[in-house]
Structure 1
Amino acid sequence: MTQTAPPPIGILEGFFGRSWSWEQRQRLASFMRREGFDFYLYAPKSDRHLRSRWREHWPADDWLALQQLRATYRTAGISFGLGLSPLDLCSASGEADTDALDRKIKRINELDPNWLGLFFDDMRGDIPGLAKRQAELAHRAAQRSTAGTILLCPTYYSDDPVLDKVFGARPKGYLTQLGRELDPSIEIFWTGPKVCSETYPLAHLEATAHQLGRKPFLWDNYPVNDGAIKSKHLYLQPPEASRFHNRDAIAGIAANPMNQFALSLPALCALAQGVTQGGPTTLESALQHTLPHPLAVVLAQDADFFAQQGLNNLGDSERLRLLKRYEPLSEHEAAREIIAWLRGEYTFDPACLTE
């Protein structure tokens, strides 16, 4: 049996809370090229000019940084895109403001993006005609964008009932109507059975594809840790293997990483290897491949504790022991991230509502 080519894999910087630096985003490009990633989407929740202030242009310093970032990814051969969240355009009050969307996309076009995401997550969804309105906006964006790939994130991007609890009951038949209204060339993001899904069963992916009228494009919320509970944990282990085994049932996969840049790399590396090779790698292999040897050895011993127990189960003596364990390794970025995490410097952003 001939094995099909793997779907596109990328990194979607789409988390709440403490952001990565521009310098870290620049360095990510070389990591992605080395590991075989296809695309990067810039969509941090902290960038208000993609969200609450999306109508406004970026300040000069940020705009220059975006231009430089785009150039770096072009040089690396990695497709580059942005995720725009025009949060109020789906409401009745926003219907007359589509000109602002046109202006924003015109500005984004100056970056010559390969991909453009239109994100309708984190907004009220109990709105009449929601699916039709979102499809119309996506078509408008696609017509005006120079990007070759358009992706839409629905308001209800999972079967998880927490979305209905936070954003209102989903309209009946929402996903089916959205898939029917939306041009088949536009990809639809999906996080799986849960907002943060551990597994992606084949039957679930096939049922979702039937609803959407296309294969779902996975927004994989692993190893992201921006939630009220997850922010107390660090996730270094390779992703669960259904992502790899069921890769023919998805249109692509975009991994949402942790607030901790360097500590995200082992899981991201394992994702790329798993998707391209069709099977998982080991924690030790991913750590040794992405982190300095002395730190990789120590982290291999502590990774399960960081993922399963976390900060809330650390007593003062255990916290002090771990600080003393990692402080001698603080020349390494990942060790400094662990130290900052142990000291509580990665604070939870209450704007993250879905955990």
Structure 2
Amino acid sequence: MSKPASATGQAPTGTRRFISGVVEGFYGRPWTMEQRTELFQREQKWGLNTYLYAPKDDYKHRMYWRDLYSDQEAEQLRALISAAKQHNVDFVYAVSPGLDITFSNPREVSALKRKLDQVRQFGCRSFSLLFDDIEPEMCPADQQTFSSFAEAQVSVTNAVYQHLGDPDTFLFCPTDYCAAFCTPNVLQSSYLNTVGEKLLPGIDVLWTGPKVVSHKISVASIEEVTSVLKRAPVIWDNIHANDYDPQRLFLGPFKDRPTELISRLRGVLTNPNCEFYPNFVAIHSLATWCRAPADGGQKDVEMGDEEQDSSYSPQKALTLALTDWLQEFLSTDQPGARLPKESPGEEPMQTDLGESSYVPGAGENPLYTAEPLTLEDLKLLSDLFYLPYEHGPTARSMLQQLDWLKNNRGDAAAETDKTAEWRSRAKQFDDMCEAVVKMFNRLSNAPNRRILYDLYNYICDIKSGVGLARAYVKTLGGQGRPSAQPMNQDPEPWGFRGGLSGEFQRMLPCHGNRDLFRHPPMTEVYCIRLYCPEDKTEVQRIFREMKSGGEGGVPLMMQPPLICDSLSAGDLSPSPQCALVLEDETGLVGYALALTDAKPAAAKIQRAVSDAVFRDFPSLVTVQVLPRVTDPSPARRMIGRLLSSIRSSGSRGVFCELRQSDKRMLDFYTKLGSFRPVQVAGLPQDIIAMATSL
């Protein structure tokens, strides 16, 4: 097998085989020897050729990399390497010494060579040095020997590579293994440029793409890093990795990598889900992608429309994978999937010989019969657990329906033009939820229990979440019983999600702003700041918007004016340090304004207010927040700060006026706890005054 081109900036020619397969490189419980052997069988069947052994939790791979394998461990690795050879899979042994190696210490380099020599005695001929996920700092001894961290890594890697006799496959994982880690960018990265210039040309470099978990990998990005590394990279693809989030599983197809990349890469290795059996789709669809014509001639395009790549269709690849996976689910030739066969001459076990099989009578429940799992069930399962940056079509549809039903819930009870639409969409949503439940039941009864056990926690979780949403929609439509309401003051533990981790996340201001489904209301980040003259137009806009709406069917413009209307409309300026505005990411959404002396405002609308009222409550406050701000806490914080400023001015108390039809603001002031209704002579019939002492 020939070596790649020398370090001239040219990618290797087509003389070396394209590396394709799986890297076991995740954090978590490593796969078993039996599972790895099964993987080799699958790789051979599907045309993949490489397995990179790099489980982070194999202590002798990473944390205790200096330690040699025991006799028992050696026997296991020897058997594993032999099994890979039997299935024409190149077994690449990786070691990660970067946590604590001293690059300048010859004894450390000797320990590394000794470790790889041991593995070479097991029959391994392909190797890898990984320096990922480590601190990019050198110890004082290394700083005296090497000019940079990259030079230290390259020096040791070159020495080990030559010691092993320049193996045909030798992979190097840099510390800056994606574009996001490069400073200031890929082309100007001194680290990557050192690797490109000084790493021996026969050593291949692993690369994850634009990010650690890359959404899309473009031809342009690969050509860029190739020019710096002076060799085509091997993609270590984390698109199906889930070790960073134990609540997620990825069952969508390999996608958003145009097949034009194949001729520009040294290879692709997928680092998939921690759970072995759910990786069927990830590995199967990668194999389909690798078989795509290398001369497809496709342009470097955004892959949102799969038809733009005629050489590979993610949806077709997914269907092929799920069709084959269904046969695995239905296979009973698995440990524990069926009772052992009776030995010849052994008496069959019989019980209740005097009774025949039970047959339910008329009007009784029929016996439960497990329905067989279907391809549609697996398509639904894939949609619910799709990919890191997107949900599958059915999952997106469910979220969109729930969002619409929640935002239009007022149409569920009243007989309006939208009532029929609301009920129809609620029925559609309920049908989709029922499909999830049925899928769960059929999965739970599938003969292959090994696959089920890897999936069970995930499908239980999604079934529970869907059940809560389903009960909520029924409640919105007036169909839910009180006991079925998913959100009450004393829920069962399955009625809320997330444990301590969920509690922490919900307390953070940006919780939810990276949800894949962007439309449902989520926790917003609000900014409260002092009012400035430039805000006058926006405050007037909010005032007009609220004034034109009204509650109770009567527009506010047709109701008696409030003293504070002049303040909101900009006819009167708020007192110094007594005006605040509320902003979200779109702009102003609310304000809180005050006058430390309210008499001029009362005189402006010819409102007669007794001196006794002004003596106890000389100041006036008005608060208004747009209805789309459903969280009351920003408005509470705003008025709290405002009352503090009014108190600092020497005022004894503050009052506000509200219209009886404005139920929202009446509820707001009432729940503050400090404001109480006060009697003010001469108030119009529909106006209420509330006040608080300072």
TM interval, shorter chain, is 0.7 to 0.9
Higher Cα radius of gyration: 2
Q: CA deviation at 1:322?
A: 6.4
State the Cα deviation string for residues 201-250 of structure 1 (Å, max 9, x = none).
Answer: 1110000001111111111113111113xx32221221114252321111
Residue among 57, 80, 87 paired with 1:46 = 57
Secondary structure of residue in 2 paired with 1:121? coil
Q: CA deviation at 1:327?
A: 1.4
Q: CA deviation at 1:17?
A: 1.1
Counting only pairs closer than 5 Å after superposition, residues 279-318 of structure 1 correspond to structure 2 as 279-280=312-313, 281-292=316-327, 294=373, 296-307=375-386
Structure 1 residues 7 and 179: CA distance shift in structure 2, 3 A = same
User: Which segment is superposed worse, 61-70 or 212-221?
Assistant: 61-70
Contact 2:326/2:378 (8 A) holds in 1: no
| 2:513 equivalent in structure 1 | none
- 2:250 and 2:103 map into 1 onto residues whose CA distance is 41
Q: How many percent identity over aligned positions?
A: 27
Q: What residue identity is the alignment partner of 1:306?
A: F
Secondary structure of residue in 2 paired with 1:240? coil
Contact 2:215/2:256 (8 A) holds in 1: no
| 1:63 equivalent in structure 2 | 74
Contact 1:323/1:339 (8 A) holds in 2: no
- 1:95 and 1:154 map into 2 onto residues whose CA distance is 21
Q: What residue identity is the alignment partner of 2:243?
A: D
| 1:258 equivalent in structure 2 | 273
| 1:242 equivalent in structure 2 | 257
Q: CA deviation at 1:96?
A: 4.8
Contact 1:243/1:275 (8 A) holds in 2: no
| 2:286 equivalent in structure 1 | 271
When normalised by structure 2's length, the TM-score is 0.44
State the Cα deviation string for residues 129-172 of structure 1 (Å, max 9, x = none).
Answer: 111111111111112225421110000100124x88xxxxxx95
Structure 1 residues 261 and 133: CA distance shift in structure 2, 3 A = same
- 1:17 and 1:86 map into 2 onto residues whose CA distance is 18
| 1:158 equivalent in structure 2 | 178
- 1:14 matches 2:29: no
Q: What residue identity is the alignment partner of 2:228?
A: Q
Contact 2:252/2:385 (8 A) holds in 1: no
Runs (5+) with no aligned partner, structure 1: 165-170, 345-355
Counting only pairs closer than 5 Å after superposition, residues 73-152 of structure 1 correspond to structure 2 as 73-88=84-99, 91=102, 96-127=107-138, 129-145=148-164, 147-152=167-172
Secondary structure of residue in 1 paired with 2:156? helix
Contact 2:102/2:108 (8 A) holds in 1: no
Secondary structure of residue in 2 paired with 1:74? helix
| 1:202 equivalent in structure 2 | 219
Secondary structure of residue in 2 paired with 1:55? coil
State the Cα deviation string for residues 94-142 of structure 1 (Å, max 9, x = none).
Answer: 5652121121111111122232010000111144511111111111111
State the Cα deviation string for residues 316-349 of structure 1 (Å, max 9, x = none).
Answer: x9998765442111534322211144468xxxxx
Q: What residue identity is the alignment partner of 1:219?
A: W
Contact 1:225/1:234 (8 A) holds in 2: yes
Q: Which has the larger share of helix?
A: 1
- 2:103 and 2:82 map into 1 onto residues whose CA distance is 38
Q: What residue identity is the alignment partner of 1:239?
A: F
Q: CA deviation at 1:64?
A: 1.4
When normalised by structure 1's length, the TM-score is 0.84
Secondary structure of residue in 2 paired with 1:104? helix
Q: What residue identity is the alignment partner of 2:454?
A: E
Contact 2:92/2:128 (8 A) holds in 1: yes
Q: What residue identity is the alignment partner of 1:290?
A: W
- 2:217 and 2:168 map into 1 onto residues whose CA distance is 27
- 1:175 matches 2:192: yes
| 1:326 equivalent in structure 2 | 443
User: Which segment is superposed worse, 278-287 or 301-310?
Assistant: 301-310
Secondary structure of residue in 2 paired with 1:10? strand
Secondary structure of residue in 1 paired with 2:153? helix
Q: Which has the higher contact order (CA 8 A, sep 6+)?
A: 1
Q: CA deviation at 1:60?
A: 3.1
- 1:157 and 1:323 map into 2 onto residues whose CA distance is 39
Q: CA deviation at 1:302?
A: 2.1
- 2:106 and 2:37 map into 1 onto residues whose CA distance is 37
- 1:272 and 1:288 map into 2 onto residues whose CA distance is 15
| 1:168 equivalent in structure 2 | none
- 1:191 and 1:144 map into 2 onto residues whose CA distance is 28
- 1:187 and 1:243 map into 2 onto residues whose CA distance is 21
Equivalent residues, number: 331
Structure 1 residues 179 and 30: CA distance shift in structure 2, 3 A = same
| 1:224 equivalent in structure 2 | 241
| 2:583 equivalent in structure 1 | none
Q: CA deviation at 1:20?
A: 1.3
| 2:205 equivalent in structure 1 | 188
